[in-house]
Amino acid sequence: MATFVLIHGAWHGGWCWWKTAPLLRKTGHLVLTPSLTGLGDREHLARLMPPAVLNLDLHIRDITELLAANDLRDVILVGHAYAGMVITGAAELAPERIAKLVYINGVAPSDGEAMVDQLEAVRGPEFVANVRRHIIDGEPFLPAPTTFAEIAQRWSITDPDDQAFMLPRLSPQPTLTFSQPVRTGNPAALSLGREFVLCSESGFEPVAERAAASGWGVHHIDTGHDPMVTASAELAEILLSIGGSH
Tell me: the pLDDT tens digits for 228-245?
999 999 999 999 999 985
Residue 203 pLDDT greater than 90, yes or no: no
Residue 122 pLDDT greater than 90, yes or no: no
Q: Residue 218: what pLDDT? A: 97
Do residues 5 and 29 lie in contact, with contact meaning Cβ atoms separated by under 8 Å?
no
pLDDT band at 219 (very low <50, low <70, confident <90, very high): very high
pLDDT band at 246 (very low <50, low <70, confident <90, very high): low
Distance CA 160, CA 10 (A): 21
Task: Compute CA distances 21 → 40, 182, 213, whole Å.
Answer: 16, 28, 30
Residue 224 pLDDT greater than 90, yes or no: yes
Do residues 185 and 111 lie in contact, with contact meaning Cβ atoms separated by under 8 Å?
yes
Domain tally for the chain?
A: 1
- Domain hosting residue 179, numbered range: 3-245
For 15, counting Cβ atoms within 10 Å of its Cβ (0-12 exposed, 13-18 middle, 19+ buried), the class is middle
DSSP 26: T
Q: Residue 124: what pLDDT? A: 79
pTM for the full model?
Answer: 0.96
Do residues 204 and 211 lie in contact, with contact meaning Cβ atoms separated by under 8 Å?
no
Percentage of the chain exceeding pLDDT 90: 91
Q: Residue 245: what pLDDT? A: 53
Question: pLDDT digits over 55-86, tens only?
Answer: 999 999 999 999 999 999 999 999 999 999 99
Mean pLDDT of 27-53: 97
Distance CA 127, CA 149 (A): 16
Return the number of other C-beta atoms located less than 10 Å from residue 120's C-beta. Answer: 11
Residue 43 pLDDT greater than 70, yes or no: yes
Instruction: Report the CATH number at residue 148.
Output: 3.40.50.1820
Question: pLDDT digits over 145-198, tens only?
Answer: 999 999 999 999 999 999 999 999 999 999 999 999 999 999 999 999 999 999
Q: Residue 118: what pLDDT? A: 85
pLDDT averaged over the chain?
96
